[in-house]
Amino acid sequence: MDRWRHRITIHTTADVLGVLPEPVEDVPPAMFCDDEGVCYFDTGPNPLTQAIERLLDKVGEEGWELVQVLFRPEQMICFWKQPR
């Protein structure tokens, strides 16, 4: 029987902006989510979605597998698992 360790991370808007390679002054809304977690993405490369990828990759590189993401206003809550 597999046994798992679990981790929950909370990422704020400031966290996402903090991993941008350079400041972004005017970005059209490229990703927006409603309170029920339904998200929409515009087409084309976007520095904000790339910043979210960097945040997720950082935890993933530590060996954690992303299980679920919940979006709240100003927050992204991630649930992770890892074999013991």
**pLDDT tens-digit map of 58-72:** 999 999 999 999 988
User: What does the pLDDT average to over 27-53?
Assistant: 72
Structure tokens at 18: 């903090």
Give me the mean pLDDT over the 1-22 stretch.
90
Q: Quick one: average pLDDT of 28-38? A: 69
Q: Say whether pLDDT at 30 is over 70.
A: no
The helix/strand count (H/E) of the chain reads as 2, 5
DSSP three-state, residue 25: coil
C-alpha angle 71-64-16 in degrees, rounded to nearest 5: 40
Percent above pLDDT 70 for the chain: 86
Question: Is pLDDT at 26 greater than 70 in this prediction?
Answer: no
pTM of the model: 0.73
Report d(CA 34, CA 51) in Å as an integer.
Answer: 20
